[in-house]
Chain A
Amino acid sequence: MKHVLAALVENKPGVLSRIINLFSRRGFNIESAAVGETEDPRISRLTVVVAGDDKVLEQVTKQLNKLIDVIKVSDLSSDGMVGRGLALVKVSVDRETMGQIIEISDIFRTKIIDVSPKSLIIEVTGTDEKIMAFIDLMRRFGIKEMAQTGLIALARGAKATTIKKEG
């Protein structure tokens, strides 16, 4: 079972390495982790996708919370959420395949962001499933290289993982 956790952490040097270290020390199986600044520059938001049962999820949440630099942890997968990842895929092309690739790319609503006679770089965003489906389709054309972000996610509706302002 996959869970998506969002953690608000202090935007300080070393925080990410603390978190990664925690995951490896406790033997947590993390599928992806993505981190970036929030609307408040003092705070970063970390999104982790973790595989495991409820007991694992509970431990990951609690152990994350134990880190002094971690301010808040929410399980986004328990309620509705929207999650997106991004991949950049460099695909081999020739005259014959160009049309097919562009056609598939259109269906997936991707962007072609670099064109050369022998390759295209395609930017695809979406859910993990969509990205994986797209990558699978590209394989037969020959993927030269690719890079992928971890999933980032927000809860649906007005509910938010934020910090209560004090005073």
Chain B
Amino acid sequence: MKKIGTAIILESLMEEGVEVVFGIPGGVLIPLYDEFYDSEIRHILMRHEQAAAHAADGYARASGRVGVCIATSGPGATNLVTGLATAYMDSIPVLALTGQVPTTLIGNDAFQEANITGITFSVTKHNYLVTDVKELQNTLREAFYIASTGRPGPVLVDLPKDVQTAETDYKKDIKINLPGYKPTYGGHPKQIKRAADLIISAERPVIIAGGGTIISGADEELRELAELVMIPVTTTLMGKGAFPEDHPLSLGMLGMHGTRYANYSVMNSDLVIAVGVRFSDRVTGKIESFAADAKIIHIDIDPAEIGKNVRVDLPIVGDAKNILSSIINTIKIQIKKEKTKDWLVKVKRWREEYPLSFEESGETVKPQYIIKELYEATKGEAIIVTEVGQNQMWAAQYYLCNRPRRFISSGGLGTMGYGLPAAIGAKVAKPDEMVFDISGDGSFQMNCQELATAVQNDIPVKVAILNNGYLGMVRQWQELFYNRRYSGTKLGYLPDLVKFAEAYGAFGTRVTRKSEVRSAIEEAIETDKPAIIDFRIEEEENVFPMVPAGAPLDEIIGGN
């Protein structure tokens, strides 16, 4: 059957089960957009391409499926770059379709031409420039396959205008041939046996669960292993939700702003079982002293992560779910739970001695209090999306997350402006869930135009802005390490956020007193509209505890 390029694109998206795409059209995309005009696929018109990439990313994180974003050639495509880099760092399956000038004009500096495949080499798992319509169907199939398998990641397909309009045969079934791409899923049986031996004989084990645990869908296996051997579990920011945070074995988050008890546990352990983590500097602190007395088992699907940052005693390459369930089967018969009893007592003591804490003072609105109230008001059942900075860390510390794919945050790249568009994507993926973007006044202003997208498309996301008038995290570092010289961090002028919300047709309210916090949250929940709460918080509140950059993980300041 003959089809033109744009029809092949739509057909391929349907075959992959795509229901929604986030994008903005442009000159070279008019043929493709003409196809969307009467397609069953829902197109959500964003206000900035960066937001389209973040929305696709948020959709992917909430649903586990590939998120699709579309941008035109040149500036449209370059605007995607931050969004792709965000998805790449956090291993999120995103497909970006970009328009390109006709093949005859490529290289001529044509109007709105940018070499987007060249530009995105290092922020995509793979990318393609399709120069022949005959390759189009195959390329799209490969793109979906690469994005969603192995260690997932963003894939970009660049579509010249003449390829979109050219005609070729469309086949129902095509085979993928990627000789250089064969992800490993099963762990090596010998390594699994060794891991089981180490786990059984450990006296002070701790599990560090990362984003890979969630991607793999290994949360149940993780819990089974932890309960079977009685091992305390800490998660990275990306791993939040991989293990129920209200579980007695949960230590919450580790790292720079992790709980003291999580960091102490890791540093005093004799065995670290790391599942789907990449040992980022925010997690390890000073690398040489990280868990110095512990053997490290590293389970990851990406062999390049093994030994990249920390020394690993026992690597197991493969899918976390498979590997954990094999380990469980191996140790089930021989485990003695009492082995970790003394260790758990010690961990419990740290937990009691150094809980997360903040000072309340009168009617001052404390950000930590807001998050706790938000947790109560939503019964811990909201999907939380964050921006980046203090808001992100307070959200991670105080909004307990008990299930995977419900805490959505730009972990690796740390992209301010991520939250609102990602919340839109998450809400589109999970329309029946409450989606809250925990934001700061700095981050919010980086993609606040997307409120129009939310209102126009009836996507009622809620935004809690922790407004302190500063780029708060940088200000905090300036306070602690630069003698309070607040260079470039005072935002000074901010539009009236309530009027801002109203101008966009959303609901807006302001909170200046502690006693108003709960009712404002409830109002925002009750309205059918997208909602913004402008929380005027204590200006110089800091995120504690804190491990200064480059310090050992147990040299902690603040928060007890």
Contacts and interface: CB of A to CB of B under 8 A. Distances in A.
B340 to A, nearest CB: 33
Contact of B178 (A9, A62, A68): A68
B122 interface: yes
Interface of B: 117-118, 121-122, 125-126, 129, 146, 178-181, 302-304, 306-308
Contacts of A14: 117-118, 129
B179 A71 contact: yes
A82 B204 CA distance: 50
Interface stretch (A17-25, A104-112, A124-132): A17-25
A119 interface: no
A108 to B, nearest CB: 39
Contact of B126 (A55, A62, A68): A68
Given A59-B308, A67-B180, A17 B303 contact: no
A66 B121 contact: no
Contacts of B126: 67-68
A63 to B, nearest CB: 5
Given A14-B129, A55-B307, A21 B121 contact: yes
A21 B121 CA distance: 7
Contacts of B117: 14
B304 A68 contact: no
Contacts of A25: 122
B308 A66 contact: no
A59 B121 contact: no
Given A10-B180, A14-B129, A21-B121, A66 B302 contact: yes
Contact of A65 (B121, B146, B303): B303
A28 B117 CA distance: 22
B146 A68 contact: yes
B302 A18 contact: no
Given A10-B180, A163-B179, A17 B118 contact: yes
A9 B126 CA distance: 14
A136 interface: no
Contacts of A163: 179
Contacts of B122: 21-22, 25
The 5 closest A-B pairs by CB, nearest first: A62-B304, A71-B180, A68-B126, A21-B121, A25-B122
A75 interface: no
Given A62-B304, A63-B304, A66-B304, A9 B121 contact: no
A68 B155 CA distance: 11
Given A18-B121, A21-B121, A21-B122, A65 B304 contact: yes
A70 to B, nearest CB: 5
Contact of A62 (B118, B121, B181, B303): B303
A17 B307 contact: no
Give the most central of A18, A25, A68, A72: most B CB within 10 Å.
A68
Contacts of B146: 68
A68 to B, nearest CB: 4
A153 B121 CA distance: 28
A21 B115 CA distance: 14
Contacts of B306: 62
Given A14-B129, A55-B307, A68 B180 contact: yes
A63 B304 CA distance: 6
B515 to A, nearest CB: 52
21 contacts: A9-B180, A10-B180, A21-B122, A22-B121, A58-B307, A59-B304, A62-B303, A62-B304, A65-B303, A67-B126, A67-B180, A68-B125, A68-B146, A68-B178, A68-B180, A68-B181, A69-B180, A70-B180, A71-B180, A72-B180, A163-B179
Nearest to B180: A71
A25 B304 CA distance: 15
Given A63-B304, A68-B125, A68-B181, 15 more contacts: A10-B180, A14-B118, A14-B129, A22-B121, A22-B122, A62-B304, A65-B303, A66-B304, A67-B126, A67-B180, A69-B180, A70-B180, A71-B179, A71-B180, A72-B180
Contacts of B179: 10, 71, 163
Nearest to B304: A62
Contacts of A63: 304
Contacts of B118: 14, 17
Interface in A94-152: none
A54 to B, nearest CB: 10
Interface in A10-54: 10, 14, 17-18, 21-22, 25
Nearest to A64: B304
Nearest to B146: A68
B105 to A, nearest CB: 17
B118 to A, nearest CB: 7
Contacts of B303: 62, 65
Contacts of B129: 14
Contacts of A65: 303-304
Nearest to B311: A55
Give the most central of B117, B302, B304: most A CB within 10 Å.
B304
A86 to B, nearest CB: 28
